[in-house]
A and B are shown apart, each in its own frame.
Chain A
């Protein structure tokens, strides 16, 4: 079973509009973390936002917020007031403990295109 599922291969949004990128996860570890990364066409991986499994409030970082619904096992990324520079690939990831370490498992990504 997929541990991280991103069901939207591609999304379009108009500039200045808000957009939600979906992410669902599956884990039996009660202590986990959820991340979103952005990968522009230049290829680097940019950390955007983090949500811990015990965090009571949704994480926010500037125009990014994470809509964390624990019971539904979803961690959707909301980008408000989209900008042309937001056009990129977006990856959801989950951190689980492995005993000696922890590792991040990534989803397959959503390609976001911001249009005028």
Chain B
């Protein structure tokens, strides 16, 4: 199994508070992604990274920022959480040069914004 750790796994917070989710990998994969999963929407890409300090927006990036200062860590920050950001967040990694370039997923982080 790919070494991907997400923290925290569960978090309950209040509207307006900042939240940071961390994704840590031990695979030295170049590409890292943050998705959110909501019923009826499948998984939607928030942000992704193609190297240290290289990031780009996905389809639902509003209200989120990311940082990648080291190959192994990809942080997702909600500057001021809203109830619409209640979701399950998945981190994923990929190394396109290897095989099919499929994504390997973390176990998910469930965030509830009250």
Are B101 and A108 in contact, with the CB atoms below 8 A? no
Partner of B107, one of A43, A100, A104: A43
B74 sits at the interface (CB 8 A): no
Report the number of A-B residue pairs with Cβ-Cβ less than 8 Å. 59
Q: How many residues of A contact B (CB 8 A)?
A: 23
Partner of A106, one of B42, B48, B108: B42
Most A CB contacts (10 A, CB to CB) among B35, B42, B44, B104 go to B42
Are A105 and B45 in contact, with the CB atoms below 8 A? yes
B interface bracket (residues with beta carbon within 8 Å of A): 20 to 34
CA A82 – CA B94 in complex, angstroms? 30
B54 sits at the interface (CB 8 A): yes
CA A45 – CA B58 in complex, angstroms? 19
**Residues of chain A having any CB pair with chain B under 8 Å:** 6, 33, 35, 43-45, 47, 50, 52, 91, 93, 95, 98, 100-109
**Residues of chain B having any CB pair with chain A under 8 Å:** 31, 33, 35, 40-45, 48, 50, 54, 56, 58-59, 88, 90, 92, 94, 96, 100-105, 107-108
